[in-house]
Structure 1
């Protein structure tokens, strides 16, 4: 990960590049960023060039007009996406750990149905993919305590967490496994989920799947290491 310092102004421009790039899937023009942020084209160009020199953007060229003329375009690097994601919530992993533990403490005081409702209410309109992942994983960890016996029979979860497997795949396996057990036990005396709550649970899992693809693998690897310490 790039350790270069970034000013608040530069971060504003980097966020705009990342957002526009995710919306279109195409390299971004400094003119588009200027229009989006309401600044001059030259200001936009200068700041994007600074971000390029720091390694947060890569450059491409698109032919325009006559021979030999081209327009400069920018793509965010993985480090840029990670920097924006972490800046939107919390940068240092220690702070993330503290936040995550606090959420766990709130959830573990609730019944299973109340915990599902709590997480659903917090993520149903959430646009920050990282927050969606963390709320879902906090709920999942609490549910591992409910289904601890079933999990031990299925897999050595600790061994998988400590393996070198691709982090997004491990997190997806973790969530899908515990929610699969929950579905199997939804009518048991221990759970007793009604249809409304089970539909919310399915929506949580669906949003987790969608959000997972929006959070960089390197940041998911950090989350995996945090979960490994908590499981």
Structure 2
């Protein structure tokens, strides 16, 4: 069975819903999210199950209308997650070397350039960046530049702290949190407000990225910190 655009739409939606809660998803929830009947959703999800992209299971309903009633829910399989990564993440990762190289080049001559100008240019460019990994990389560059302006010496200390984190996604989250800490006194400033908005979107993307993206971004962060010192 071919993964048609319609089936892919249902697969994308149920994966997103599953990621939000970590719990299997009822077909009626998918139906409501896509604006179709619950029976249409059920039929397509069962088709995806036949292709080993979803796995169904039974759970007890906790609603007032049907307390204790058994209902069918679905969760994505590893096969589904691999397909989603191949169809969506791969094109973006093909552009990764160019994105990485362009952003790292900013830090090679940071001392001879105007950090404020770089920060403002990155903010402008970020408004046009849509792809998650690219957005996260741009945000990392923006935040390092921002910290450099506040206290360049703190970059080395931050790198030492990040090296103790056991997983790449924790390094990225810790980095974002550290920058927020440096901004507490100026949260109402226009630039800081824009940066905070970028951090919030960055954290959302990080929560949805896979292991490969986490590793790429954590490695990029480490090298960017080294070059900026």
Name the TM-score, length of structure 2 as normaliser.
Answer: 0.60
- SS of the aligned residue for 1:169 comes to helix
Unaligned runs of 5+ in 1: 1-5, 187-193
- SS of the aligned residue for 1:220 comes to helix
Name the residue aligned to 2:73. 73
1:138 equivalent to 2:135? Answer no
1:213 equivalent to 2:202? Answer no
Q: Answer whether contact 2:169 2:214 (CA < 8 A) is retained.
A: yes
Moved more, 142-151 or 41-50: 142-151
Name the residue aligned to 1:223. 217
- Classify 1:127/1:26 alpha carbon distance in 2 versus 1 (closer, same or farther; 3 Å): farther
Return the offset for 1:100: 3.4
Question: For 1:224 and 1:97, how far apart are their aligned partners in 2?
Answer: 15
Return the offset for 1:201: 2.2
Name the residue aligned to 2:174. 173
Return the offset for 1:14: 1.9
- Classify 1:98/1:12 alpha carbon distance in 2 versus 1 (closer, same or farther; 3 Å): farther
Q: Answer whether contact 2:135 2:202 (CA < 8 A) is retained.
A: yes
1:14 equivalent to 2:15? Answer no
Question: For 2:130 and 2:172, how far apart are their aligned partners in 1?
Answer: 20
Q: Answer whether contact 2:56 2:74 (CA < 8 A) is retained.
A: yes
Unaligned runs of 5+ in 2: 62-68
- SS of the aligned residue for 1:165 comes to coil
Q: Answer whether contact 1:82 1:215 (CA < 8 A) is retained.
A: no
How many residue pairs get matched?
208
Deviations 1:131-176 (A, max 9, x none): 5423211323555766553323x2554x845x67122221123344
The residue correspondences of 1:138-157 to structure 2 (distance < 5 A) are 138-142=141-145, 148-152=152-156, 154-157=157-160
The residue correspondences of 1:68-147 to structure 2 (distance < 5 A) are 71-76=71-76, 80=80, 84=84, 87-91=87-91, 93=93, 95-103=95-103, 111-121=114-124, 130-142=133-145
